[in-house]
Homo-oligomer: A and B are copies of this chain.
Amino acid sequence: MPRGRPREAVVDVRLLEAVRTLLADTDYADVSIARISGLAGAGRAAIYRRWSSKPELVFAAVVHGTELDARRFDQGGLATDLHALVEHVVALLNTPVARNALPGLVAELQTSPEVRRRFQTRFIRAERDLIADILSRARSRGELQTGQPIGAPEVHAHLLGMVWAELFLVTDSPVAGDVVDRVFRSVLSTLSLPDHRGPARQGPQPGRQPEDPC
């Protein structure tokens, strides 16, 4: 049992909120520990008592509220599940906070293996497992054949990487609004069939699954 004064939970909250507030309109590199502790009205030591470094703190702040609820992505069909997932991923990464935080955070991943590990388990593996579930359900429904050479790791890298490219690498893209549709169509076309719904039908098209088993 712990002796001494217990940590004040409000300090955790204030710190994480301060990080998010700053990241809302400041780049990762310009968010310094001093500014965070100043905005939160906390001491520097209170930060390092909780997180071992700046990337850990920012990671914790950015992670907040990004829990994957597996049930949201079980909507009865491969296309709908995937569409919901793409929507979710884009929504997560297209936040002002995420846009400011992620590139800097990923840059630090290369240096600090501890954060990398956390990042992997918290984001990467969770998403990949979710995709594996979606694909497995689709397979059991007959939407996907079993021998499919494109598995969860590939779909995951495809999905996440394409969103990343659209948001962080190809920044002069004329239209960023339809990122969800473009990524969704690209990922789906990988798994099933030529997507001959046409650009007009951007919806999840649950009625399309019958064609998939072909």
What residues of B have a CB within 8 angstroms of the CB of A208 in the complex?
Answer: 149, 192-193
What residues of B have a CB within 8 angstroms of the CB of A195 in the complex?
Answer: 149-150, 185, 188-189, 192
Q: Is A2 an interface residue (CB 8 A)?
A: no
Q: Are the C-beta atoms of A142 and B186 separated by less than 8 Å?
A: no
Q: Is A170 an interface residue (CB 8 A)?
A: yes
The proximity string for A residues 183-212 relative to B, scoring 1 for CB distances below 8 Å and 0 otherwise, is: 111101111111111111111111111011
Check A192/B203 contact, CB under 8 A, given A103-B109, A172-B120.
no
Q: Are the C-beta atoms of A168 and B77 separated by less than 8 Å?
A: no
Q: Are the C-beta atoms of B150 and A189 separated by less than 8 Å?
A: yes
Q: Are the C-beta atoms of A143 and B199 separated by less than 8 Å?
A: yes
Q: Are the C-beta atoms of B181 and A79 separated by less than 8 Å?
A: no
Q: Is A70 an interface residue (CB 8 A)?
A: no
Secondary structure class of chain A's binding surface, majority of residues: helix
Q: Are the C-beta atoms of A193 and B166 separated by less than 8 Å?
A: no
Q: Is A68 an interface residue (CB 8 A)?
A: no
CA distance A172 to B120 in the complex (A): 7
Q: Are the C-beta atoms of A185 and B162 separated by less than 8 Å?
A: no
Check A106/B109 contact, CB under 8 A, given A150-B189, A162-B162, A190-B190.
no
Of all A-B residue pairs in the complex, the 3 with the closest CB atoms, nearest first, are A161-B165, A161-B161, A77-B204
What residues of B have a CB within 8 angstroms of the CB of A150 in the complex?
Answer: 185-186, 189, 195
Q: Is A132 an interface residue (CB 8 A)?
A: no
Q: Are the C-beta atoms of A202 and B30 separated by less than 8 Å?
A: no
* CB proximity to B under 8 Å, residues A1-25: none
Q: Is A29 an interface residue (CB 8 A)?
A: yes
What residues of B have a CB within 8 angstroms of the CB of A185 in the complex?
Answer: 149-150, 154, 195, 197, 199, 205
Q: Are the C-beta atoms of A189 and B182 separated by less than 8 Å?
A: no
Q: Are the C-beta atoms of B103 and A110 separated by less than 8 Å?
A: yes
